[in-house]
Amino acid sequence: MEYIKKYNEWLNNQYFDEETKKELLDIKDDEKEIEDRFYKDLEFGTGGLRGVIGAGTNRINKYTVRKATFGLANYILKNCTEEARQKGVVIAYDSRYKSEEFCMEAAKTLAACNIKTYIFDSLRPTPQLSFAVRELGCIAGIVITASHNPPEYNGYKVYFSGGGQVCPDIAKEIIAQVNKINDYSMIPTTNKRNPLIITLDENIDIAFIDAVKEQVVNQDIIDKVGKDIKIIFTPIHGTGNIPIRNVLDEVGFKNVSVVKEQELPDSKFSTVKYPNPEEKEVFDIAIKMAKKDGTDLIIGTDPDCDRVGVVVKNTDGEYVVLNGNQVGSLLVEYVLSNKLDKIKQMHNPTIVKTIVTSELGATIAKSYGINSVDTLTGFKFIGEKIHQYEMSKEATFIMGYEESYGYLVGTHARDKDGVVSALLISEMAAYYYDKGMTLYEGLQEVYKKYGYYKEELKAITLKGIDGMEQIKFIMNYFRKANINEIADIKVDNIKDYSKGIDNLPKSDVLKFILEDGSWIAVRPSGTEPKIKFYFGCKGNKQDEVDDKLEKIMDSITEMITVTA
C-alpha cells in the first residue's frame, strides 16, 4: 500500500531527523494512524497549509513547511523579475506550538534560494504581516498560524505583493510548483545566520500602530468618555496583547483591563478548549471579572489577532456574545453614519462582504446611498477587491467584513484586522455609552431602523478519508435533490457557485434563496474537515424571525439526516 511505502521511506531516509523517526516508530502498530498521516500530502490550498502538527506527509512539520516554501520560492524565481525578487519575503508567526521553528525553516529555505527574508523578533498579528508586505515593498509574505483551530493545529498562509492572501490564479501556480516536489531531500536550506535573513526592528511596529490609529472615526467621543468606559480585553494567549493595548491607550482609552490568565502566549491555550472568540466559553474568566465592576465591553481576539469577539450586557444585565454579522452590521452603521459627508466625497464608496454574510450590512449601506459588493467566502477575496479598486480606480473601499468575526476598516491591511477592529468596536461602544446606551441597545436600535435579521451557522465535522467522501456526498445530494421548498417556503433561486456565477470564481458553494428573502448556503470548509450550513432570515419582529429560522434549520437538518 502506498501509505505504508511512504511511512517506511520516512523511517529509513537519513534526511529525516531522529525525533521524527521516533514519533513514527511509536505508531508502528497503529495502521489507521499511519494511513491518516501518509495517505495523501497535506494539501497546499488556495491560502496555504493547515493541519495537525506531527510527522508525516499529511501533517504540518518542518519538512512540509520547507516543501511549501520551496514551491513558493520556485514560483517567485520563475515568474518575478530580479528586481521583484530582491524585494524579499516577510514572515510572521503566532503563539502556536512550533510556530517560531516553522518561521525559521521557511526563512532558511528562502535564503537558500537566494531570496531575501524579513522576520520579526517575536510573535506578531496576522494583520501586521499584511501591512508589512506593502510597507516593506515585499514580493510576498508568509504567516505561520492556524488561526482559531485547536492547539494541535498549525498553518502556513501566503500573501503576495498587494498585501492580501494569494487568490486562486496565483495560488494554482504556487500549488503546481509545490506538487512538483517529490523528494524532500532535494529541498535546500541554510543556517539562521545567513545574511539574507534580516530581523526587523520596532519601526515596523510603530508604523503599523500609526496606520491603525488613522482609522479613528470620532476622536472627540474618545476624548470625552475614553477614561470612563470600562473595557476588558483578552488576547486568548495570542498575538493581540501588545498591539491592541498599545493602540487603545494611545488614542485615549484609559480604563482597559486585561485577563491576566490569558495575557501571555501559551501554545496549549490552557484556559480554553478552543482559542476561538466565536465561543462564549473563552470569555468565562473575562465575564467573571466584568460582573465585579459592571464592565461595559469585553473584547477577545484569536491567536493570530485577525478575528474579534465582542461581549456586552443585554437589557437584562446579562453578558452576551454578539456574533460576527451583528458586529459587522453595527460597524457599517457606525462608520457610515459618522463619516457620511467625507465618504460621499469619495468615488463610488463601497463596502464589501461575503456571500454567506448577513444582508443587513448591505441594507444599511443602501440606505446611505453606498454601494455593497459580495465576494466568495474568505477574506482573501475582500483583500483582492481592495487591490482591484486601487488599481482600477473604479471604487473606493470603505470597509469589509465576514460573518466569521473578521472586519477591516481602511486599507492599511488587506486582511481582516483584529487590531483596528478592537479600536473601532471600543470607539463604537464609547459612542453609545455617551448616549447612555450599551452596544446591545445600539444593535436593537439598528434592528428597529432596518428590520430584524438573524443568522446561524451549523457545522458538521467529518474527519479522515471517509469524512471527505461524506462531505462530497452531502454536497452532491443538495445539488441534485431538486429542492423546491424549505420549511414550507418556496425556493425562489438556487445559486451554484461551482459554475462561476455572479462574476465570481468557481467555488464549491450552493445558496438557496427563498421567496421571503431567507437564504441557506452550504459549503465544505476550506481549512477544517467540516461541511458548513449558513442560514439567514429577516422580518418585522424578532419572534417572527426566530421562529422562521428554527423551522428552516429543522428542515435542512432532516435533509442532512437523509444523506447520513
pLDDT of residue 186: 94
Q: Which three cell numbers mark 533?
A: 450550513
Residue 226 lies in a domain: yes
The answer to whether the CB of 51 falls within 8 A of the CB of 65 is no
Residue 47 has pLDDT above 70, yes or no: no
Task: Give residue 308's identity as a one-letter amino acid code.
Answer: V
412 and 539, same domain (yes or no): no
Q: Write the pLDDT tens digit of every residue in 515-526.
A: 999 999 999 987
Tell which residue, 280, 283, 356, 335, has the closest CA to residue 509. Answer: 356
Residue 46 has pLDDT above 70, yes or no: no
The answer to whether the CB of 253 falls within 8 A of the CB of 429 is no
pTM reported for the whole predicted model: 0.95
Q: Which helix (H) or strand (E) holds 407?
A: strand 406-409
432 and 481, same domain (yes or no): no
Residue 465 has pLDDT above 90, yes or no: no
Residue 44 lies in a domain: yes
252 and 395, same domain (yes or no): yes
pLDDT of residue 507: 92
For residues 37 and 55, give the distance between their C-alpha atoms in angstroms, rounded to a whole number: 7
For residues 511 and 528, give the distance between their C-alpha atoms in angstroms, rounded to a whole number: 20
Tell which residue, 355, 302, 295, 351, has the closest CA to residue 328. Answer: 351
Domain boundary among 206, 232, 252: 206
Residue with cell 493595548: 245
464 and 512, same domain (yes or no): yes
What is the overall mean pLDDT for the chain? 95
Number of domains within the chain = 3
Q: Write the pLDDT tens digit of every residue in 52-70.
A: 999 999 999 999 999 999 9
Residue with cell 448577513: 358
Residue 22 lies in a domain: no
pLDDT of residue 45: 72
Q: Strand 153-160 and strand 231-234: pairing? A: unpaired
202 and 288, same domain (yes or no): no
CA distances from 447 to 53, 285, 489, 498, 518 (A): 44, 30, 23, 34, 16
50 and 147, same domain (yes or no): yes
Q: How far is CA 315 from the centre of its chain?
A: 31
Q: What is the mean pLDDT of residues 274-294?
A: 95
Q: What is the mean pLDDT of residues 434-445?
A: 97
Boundaries of domain holding 550 = 453-563
CATH of the domain at 102: 3.40.120.10
Residue 3 has pLDDT above 80, yes or no: yes
Residue 142 lies in a domain: yes
163 and 89, same domain (yes or no): yes
Query: Residue 311: left if φ>0, alpha if ψ -120 to 50, beta else—which one?
Result: beta
Give the pLDDT band of residue 48 (cuts 50, 70, 90): confident
Instruction: Enumerate the active-site residues.
Output: 147
For residues 358 and 446, give the distance between their C-alpha atoms in angstroms, rounded to a whole number: 14
Q: Write the pLDDT tens digit of every residue in 125-177.
A: 999 999 999 999 999 999 999 998 899 999 999 999 999 999 888 999 999 99
Question: DSSP labels for 89-125?
Answer: EEEEE-SSTTHHHHHHHHHHHHHHTT--EEE-SS---
Domain boundary among 450, 471, 502: 450
228 and 201, same domain (yes or no): no
Residue 218 has pLDDT above 80, yes or no: yes
Residue 20 lies in a domain: no
Q: What is the mean pLDDT of residues 370-396?
A: 96
CATH of the domain at 559: 3.30.310.50
Three-point CA angle 254, 255, 256, nearest 5°: 100
Q: By percentage, how much of the chain surpasses pLDDT 90?
A: 91
Domain boundary among 424, 450, 476: 450
Residue 562 has pLDDT above 90, yes or no: no
Give the pLDDT band of residue 564 (cuts 50, 70, 90): low
Q: What is the mean pLDDT of residues 347-367?
A: 98
Residue 21 lies in a domain: no
The answer to whether the CB of 163 falls within 8 A of the CB of 417 is no
Residue 181 lies in a domain: yes
Residue with cell 521553528: 101
298 and 311, same domain (yes or no): yes
Long-range pairs for 477-482 at CB < 8 Å and ≥24 separation?
477/559, 477/562, 477/563, 478/510, 478/522, 478/559, 479/510, 481/559
416 and 540, same domain (yes or no): no
Q: Write the pLDDT tens digit of every residue in 70-117.
A: 999 999 999 988 888 889 999 999 999 999 999 999 999 999 999 999
Question: How is residue 192 annotated by DSSP?
Answer: T
How many C-beta atoms lie closer than 10 Å to residue 449's C-beta? 11
Q: What is the mean pLDDT of residues 395-424?
A: 97
Q: Write the pLDDT tens digit of every residue in 473-509.
A: 999 999 999 999 999 999 999 999 999 999 998 999 9
Residue 19 lies in a domain: no
Q: What is the mean pLDDT of residues 46-55?
A: 87
432 and 463, same domain (yes or no): no
The answer to whether the CB of 429 falls within 8 A of the CB of 436 is no
181 and 252, same domain (yes or no): no
Q: Which residues pair with 93 in a beta bridge?
A: 144
